[in-house]
Every structure is written in structure tokens, then in C-alpha cells.
Amino acid sequence: MSYYLGLSGGFSSPGEDLVHGLPEYFFHDAAACIIGDGSLLAAAEEERFNRIKKTTKFPINAIRACLTRAGIQPHEIKGVGHYFRRDLVDQSLGELYLDNAATPVRYSSDFIVNYIADYFGFDISQDRLYGIPHHASHAVSCFTRSGMESALVLVMDGRGEENSGTVYQASPKGIEMLAAYDLSKSLGNFYLSGCNLLGYRLGDEYKVMGLAPYGNPATFRDIFKNLYSLEAQGDYALIQPEIGDHVVAAPFFANGFTPRRKNEPFSQQHRDFAAALQAMLQEIVMHVLTHWQKVTGNTNLCFVGGVAQNSSLNGLILRSGLFREVFVHPASHDAGAAEGAALETARILGDTYSVQPRLKSASLGPSLGDASEIEHKLRLWRPLVKFHRPEDIVDATARLLASGAVVGWAHGSSEFGPRALGNRSIVADPRPAENKDRINAMVKKRESYRPFAPVVTAESAKEYFSLASTMANYDFMSFVVDVREEQRGVLGAVTHVDGTARVQIIERETNPRFHELVARFGQLTGIPVLLNTSFNNNAEPIVQTVEDALTCFLTTGIDYLVIDDFLVERDDDTVSSMENLILRFRLMTRLAKTRKVRAGGGFESACEIYSDYAMGDRAEISEDLFNLLDSVKDDHPLRSYSGAEGLTPQLRDELFQLWQRRFFTLLPE
Ligand SMILES: [Fe+2]
């Protein structure tokens, strides 16, 4: 079998960025995947391992996980593809070095060769290493997994090398570019620019999409109309500002708009803005698609790139009836481009593949381990938790859910892509509307307007949701659809304010265990639907390991934890038992002591803990805690840093809050 490795991400080492203050957009969404004879054997995002959302690091842990899952040795890799063309990457690196005189000049291929040699003991020759054009990477990944014989492929994102959007005609012979939209037309960047006015940053776009239904797009329609024009031949233009480089801001400032900062409340103005931004995106993309569908006559669509993560837009495409069938890749963001980079590298090196079956499952990452490994790990966490192995874990969980419990549910392999699809999920009864606030308060600590998504069995999907006649892959939660009017009152926790839901339809063959859970809940309650949200809190990516799942469980209000066949409950009080755990800093966590001038003169000390990367969290801490953290050594439990009377209640509380914010992890001895 011929194996290829695909990579996304940048080149920073695990413990240090290339330069201090490296921007969050510098080759983000690090990931790895391995294909074998065209099949996607393994795929994982680096963020799940290093616990940095949308990380720009080199994906060392993801490569290791993929090699393990695929069951191959590094030397069996025939070629490596990276998700951007090499000249663009090297130019970006070069500019970074010019701005940072202390950083030595390095080229992308040297980084990749050296990382693979250093971490995996394998010398990949430079002629087996390719930088694949970014949009081709996206397009090939999506088309190859669509199961379609031919398709119109639309790639839209923040940027590729020269383009922000590309239209292809795809067939088993390859992909042929039909049109490209240059960087000045970047809808990804435009939308992000709008998000900035609402206090959001890269990776938050879906929150603005969720806010949009609360607003009236008409309020700002006239201003938005001045920001773009629809042109002939499926073209469009975005009007660049005359002052500044924030593509959306100028006319809004000129009209007295008040931007929102992070954590501030939303005004109706902000909601209306989100609605108008979303409406504009939808209008332009439909304009593009309408034209190219007509020109090619192709009724199959593959939609990919960051913009294809916009599930409201995707739902509109289905309802438009433009296509007979639509496929959206589960990892439409840049992590998924790793797969296309591997496939294109295979093609360049002479390996081409016939039509592949449609991808039905995104469970392509590492598993939690076998039962004895999991049991061993759980034992270590006693007495913070107690656990047992019910005869029928699915039935036991369904009963807990039916009685109102919120359950952390982890089993099998983690999913590739931003959605939890039943292997790393928090699940709950979808009916009580108050479950939304409850879960937000106990776990997510997030904006209360944001909807939770439902998962429904394939057998009952049409009973609860209005599905368009256009066929679509509903496996990956990629489409917002209408909840049937008569069911909106029933599904109170998962129906959005506009009567829609971002539904996942689960088939028995795809994930038998999760399907069984939803079906059993249905037998108990009459509703074969569950609320399904990602298993994490607001400070971290989705949980990956048994330890991550336990950490999330113990630092939130989740009622029960299910790990494969084990049902886990809290036992001793977490905050007081915490002293028996060992503290391990995240690799990018830093402590700092600064001296500030006091208002009345003289100096005062300030102690801080922070994550040393773009968008990393930061907190002021007490001097006592600073001193404790400063003296932390490997393998010493927290109790060893205090006297016989133990940690003071203040220190415990402070430690617990920092644990919740994931500056460090706590592990059993
Ligand atoms: Fe992209």
C-alpha cells in the first residue's frame, strides 16, 4: 500500500513560537492525516493534543497519532504534502524574519524535514515533499470524499495563495479550475472583519452566524449595499475602504455604530449588524453558485473552505434547489486541507485513485484505549471519582438522560473537524428550553443566545425536521434546517429563535453505539433526538483523552461522565481532594512578576499567569499562589507545597479557577 502524509499548520515548536507574538492567522488549524491507497486512514487536529485552539504549531502530536492509528512506521510514508504552495509559505516566513531580527532565517521545507527527522527518526528527502496550492488542497479533499462521479466544487475561505475563492469542475480525471476570485474579494476575511466589530476574532465566525437570526438585516442593508457589488459572469467586488484597512468598519464608524468588545453585552444594533453581515454573505455566495451551476449544468456541489463552515449558508444552498446533491467536508476549515495536500502529493508521485466511497464518519483520530487501560486510568483518579461498569452502558446512559441528567459522553475515536458527532460529546434532553441556560451555566459559560444542536436518528429525521429535496450529507452537522413547526415547542433546547437547528442525522451503520443511545432515549421518552454539544468548556478545544474528559467533568457541573463502558460520578469534593494531584503546566504557560508604579508613588508587585500565544488567556494571581506555582516540580502533589494544615481555602479556590481556565492540568500521582 502507498501511504502519504498530509499536513496543515505552521512551524513553531511545542514550547515556543517562531517569534514572540506570532499572529493567530499565521498558518493555523494545524493537523495531520494519512491516506493509504486513496483511503483516509487517520486524521487529527493538533489542537486536540496541545490544547491550543486553532493552533499554529507544527502538528507533531497529530502526526504521531495518525501513524499509530494507521499502524505504519514513518519510513513507510512515500510523500508529504503541506497545505500551501511553498513560495507563499517561504515568503511569509521571510517577512516574519525581516520583522524579527533575532530570529534565524529558515525555509518551510527545512522545518518539515527537520521536525520529521527529530521527532520520528525518518529522513524524508526534499523531492518527496510538496507544498500544494491551498485551494486545490481544499477542493481535492472535499471531492474525493463526496463519493460523487463529478461535481462543481466551490472553495471559499480567508485566503489561498493569490485567491480567496476558486471554482472547479471535478471528475475522476482531476480538477479543472473554472474561475478564481482574488484576495480583494475575500468573503472569509470580510466576514471576519465584521466579527471584529462584534468583539470576536478568528474562529468565532460561527457565533456571529448564531447571533444573526436575532437581528433585522434591513437596519444596515443600505450601508452593506455600499460595500459590495454583484457583477456579471458570477463575479462580485468588495469595496475597499479609503481610510484604514478594516474592510467593514469605515462606513459603520461614519454612521455612529458602536462596536462591541469581548464580554460586553449585545445591543440590538449588534444583532442587526450580524443579520446584515450574514445576509450579504449569503447573497454573494448564491450569486456565484447560481452562475456556475448554470454554466456547467452540474447538479452536484462540493462546498469547502472556511466559508463552508457557515451552516446557515449551507442550509440556504439546500433550500435554493439549485443542486440535486450537496457535500460538505467535515473539516472544511484549514485542517481538512491537509488531506487534499496528501492526495495531491500522491497524484504528483504517480498514485491516482478511482472514485472513493462517500465519507460517512469523521471518527478518524486516536481512541481512548482498551477497557483495561481506561479502567487503570480511572482508578488513579479515585477518590475524586467513583465508577462502575453497568451491564448495558447505553441503556444506563439513556435512562440518566431521560431523567434530566447532562452527560459527558466519550467513546471510540475522536472526530476530525470542529464538530463533536457523538464520540466526544456532551448530551442532554433536547426538550426543556431551560436546558440551554443550564448547560451554558454548568459547562460552557458562553453567550446565552447561542443555540445547541440536535442529533436525530435517520429513521425519525423527517418527523422532526423539514429537509429540502436537495440531498445532503447530514452526518457532520454542516446544515441548518427548519425544525418542523409542530415540533419547535417540543425541541425547546435545540430550536433556534428562527425555528431552525443545525442538525446531525445519525445512521446505525456510521456509529452504532451513538445511534443506539439516541434510539434508546427515544424509546424512553418518545423523542429519538438528543442535544449534542462538543465535550469541552469555553477555555479549551474538544477533549481528546481520558484525562481531558475527567478534567472537563471535574471542573464543570456535568452530572455524569461516560467513558466507553464506564459510568463515572464525582466522589470526594473536587476542590478539597485536588491537593493529591500533580500540577503540570501547559508548554506555553508562563509566570510573570512585574512591578508597577503605584498611583501615590513607589512600586507594587503584580503576579500573572498567562498563555504565551496569540489570543492566549491571562490572569492576575496572588503572590502566595505565584510562589507556589514558581516552586512546582514534576511528580510532587499539590499538598507537598503546603504545611501540615494543607492549602489555604483561598489558594485552593484560586488553583481551581486556574485549572478551569486550563493554564495547567492536574493529574493523579
Ligand atoms: Fe483555507
Q: How far is the CA of 83 from the centre of ligand 1 (A)?
A: 9
First to last CA, the chain: 43
**What is the rounded CA–CA span in Å between residue 628 and residue 632?**
7
**What is the rounded CA–CA span in Å between residue 456 and residue 487?**
13
Please determine whether the domains at 3-82+86-131+337-348 and 371-570 fall in the same fold group of CATH. Answer: no
CA 40 to chain centroid, in Å, comes to: 19
Between 3.20.20.70, 3.30.420.40, 3.40.50.300, 1.10.3720.10, what CATH number should domain 143-328 receive?
3.30.420.40
Q: Please compute the mean of the pLDDT values over residues 100-124 and round it to a whole number.
A: 92
CA 586 to chain centroid, in Å, comes to: 20
Domain boundaries, the chain: 3-82+86-131+337-348, 143-328, 371-570, 578-668
Q: How far is the CA of 431 from the centre of ligand 1 (A)?
A: 37
Q: How far is the CA of 139 from the centre of ligand 1 (A)?
A: 10
pLDDT for the residue 92: 95
Q: Please compute the mean of the pLDDT values over residues 174-193 and round it to a whole number.
A: 95
Would you give the DSSP letter of residue 355?
P
CA 496 to chain centroid, in Å, comes to: 21
Q: How far is the CA of 609 from the centre of ligand 1 (A)?
A: 33
Cell numbers at 524, concatenated: 424512553
Q: What Rg value do the Cα atoms of the chain yield, rounded?
A: 25
- At 543-563, the pLDDT tens digits run 999 999 999 999 999 999 999
CB atoms within 10 A of CB 212: 24
User: Looking only at Cα atoms, what is the longest distance across the chain?
Assistant: 78
Alpha helices in 71-162 (DSSP H): 86-99, 108-120, 134-146
Query: Residue 237 forms beta bridges with which residues?
Result: 229
pLDDT for the residue 517: 98
Q: How far is the CA of 135 from the centre of ligand 1 (A)?
A: 7
**At the fourth CATH level, which superfamily is domain 371-570?**
Carbamoyltransferase, C-terminal domain (3.90.870.20)
Q: What b/e readout covers 290-314, taking b as 16+ CB neighbours within 10 angstroms?
A: ebbbeebebebbbbbbbbbbbbbbb
Q: How far is the CA of 10 from the centre of ligand 1 (A)?
A: 13
CATH architecture of 3-82+86-131+337-348: 2-Layer Sandwich (3.30)
Q: Please compute the mean of the pLDDT values over residues 219-246 and round it to a whole number.
A: 89
- At 237-279, the pLDDT tens digits run 998 877 777 888 888 888 888 999 988 999 999 999 999 999 9
Q: How far is the CA of 90 from the centre of ligand 1 (A)?
A: 17
Q: How far is the CA of 414 from the centre of ligand 1 (A)?
A: 22
Q: How far is the CA of 20 from the centre of ligand 1 (A)?
A: 24
pLDDT for the residue 409: 98
- At 570-621, the pLDDT tens digits run 998 888 889 889 999 999 999 999 888 888 888 888 999 999 999 999 999 9
Q: How far is the CA of 443 from the centre of ligand 1 (A)?
A: 30
Phi, psi at 43, each rounded to 5°: -160, 135
Type of residue at 335: A
Q: How far is the CA of 163 from the centre of ligand 1 (A)?
A: 10
Residue 347 has pLDDT above 90, yes or no: yes
Q: How far is the CA of 469 from the centre of ligand 1 (A)?
A: 29
Q: How far is the CA of 306 from the centre of ligand 1 (A)?
A: 6
- CA-nearest of 23, 668, 82 to 385 is 668
pLDDT for the residue 105: 84
Grouping H, G, I as helix, E, B as strand and the rest as coil, residue 648 is coil
Q: 61-65, 315-319, 441-445: which range is least confident on average?
A: 441-445
Query: Residue 430 forms beta bridges with which residues?
Result: none
CB atoms within 10 A of CB 357: 9
Q: Which helix (H) or strand (E) holds 68?
A: helix 60-70
Q: How far is the CA of 307 from the centre of ligand 1 (A)?
A: 9
Cell numbers at 436, concatenated: 440551554
Q: How far is the CA of 202 from the centre of ligand 1 (A)?
A: 13
Q: Which helix (H) or strand (E) holds 583?
A: strand 581-585
Alpha helices in 255-385 (DSSP H): 268-296, 311-320, 334-348, 371-380
**What is the rounded CA–CA span in Å between residue 429 and residue 162?**
47
Q: How far is the CA of 220 from the centre of ligand 1 (A)?
A: 29
Q: What is the mean pLDDT of the chain?
A: 94
**What is the rounded CA–CA span in Å between residue 628 and residue 580?**
15
